Amino acid sequence: MLATVIQLIINGLLLGGIYALISIGLTLIFGVLEIINFAHGEFLMLGMYASYWLFQLFGVDPYLSLLMVIPTFFLVGLAVQRIIIQPIINAPPLNQIFATVGLSLVLQNVALFFWKADYRTVRTAYSTLCLKTGGLMISLPRLVAFVLAIAMISALLMFLKRTYTGKAIRALAQEKRAAMLMGINVYRMYQIAFGIGIACVGAAGAILIPIYYAFPTVGALFVLIAFVVVILGGYNSLVGALIGGLIIGLVEAFSGFFLSPHLKEAVYFVIFILILLFRPTGLFGRG
């Protein structure tokens, strides 16, 4: 029984790492631009496809493809911000929702048009590799995803704390008007923050392709959990997103095993509702 519990903890933490990974970009965009990006899942889908095609066409390993996916998605993010997000940045929330939901529908259908509804995955030598230690199993690609999630969060925190751009983005997130008065180029910073957010979710897609499958609506499977994690973590806290992801992962692993696999989603949504009721700012959020 002890071995089972330890295995469940491992499974839960590894799953939580994946949830944290997909929530990083969403947290950043939500925290800085205060826009709910409903197309977040579709950018994850595009990241998966990007990595998939790099592997299929040029034999690039998915992890190596990060070197190409991250800069490309950063540029895509800049462009999307300039064309779609910038015009609605001061619009009522309802308009912002329409714009990003519209973007998500467009991206889904573009993917359906070009790549059909087929399920695509990358079969590498390590795709189903497992580390076995004392009867415990640790899936290698999941471990990599976990480590990279922590690495990405650490790097982003360093960037936000140490560099001028990072500090400016934080200032903007805290108090937009004061930041403007201090001479910070608000629109430039918005653009960079959005670009980094999209680069993060693109990277998440590339990291997940050895484990999951790319298809046009795959984003929908993940995006709901990403929202739960972001709200649980406190809307704009990267550490919060990590802890939130790990909590949801553990809750899923344990409720799935001890209650029923059928109920695991229900259990974390109950937790979600409780958080909203008793701590609406999330675990790490500012009031």
Binding site for another protein (CB under 8 A): 4, 7-8, 11, 15, 18, 117-119, 121, 123, 128, 130, 132, 137, 139, 142, 211-213, 215, 220-222, 225, 252-253, 255-257, 260-262, 264-265
What is the C-alpha separation between 210 and 60, in angstroms, rounded? 12
> Using alpha carbons only, what angle is made at residue 277 by residues 244 and 16, rounded to the nearest 5 degrees?
15
Q: Indicate the residue among 24 and 211 with the shorter CB distance to another protein.
A: 211
Q: Indicate the residue among 70 and 214 with the shorter CB distance to another protein.
A: 214
Q: Indicate the residue among 113 and 278 with the shorter CB distance to another protein.
A: 113
Determine the distance from the C-alpha atom of residue 213 to the mean position of all C-alpha atoms in its chain, rounded to a whole number.
16
Residue 213 CB, nearest approach to another protein (Å): 6
Residue 262 CB, nearest approach to another protein (Å): 5
Q: Indicate the residue among 154 and 260 with the shorter CB distance to another protein.
A: 260
Side-chain-side CA neighbours of 190 within 13 Å: the count stands at 21
Backbone angles phi, psi at 74, to 5 degrees: -60, -45
Q: Indicate the residue among 21 and 196 with the shorter CB distance to another protein.
A: 21
Residue 202 CB, nearest approach to another protein (Å): 18
Residue 24 CB, nearest approach to another protein (Å): 17
Residues whose CB is less than 8 angstroms from the CB of residue 219 and which lie 6 or more positions away in sequence, other chains included: 40, 41, 42, 43, 44, 45, 104, 108
Residue 268 CB, nearest approach to another protein (Å): 11
Backbone angles phi, psi at 251, to 5 degrees: -60, -45
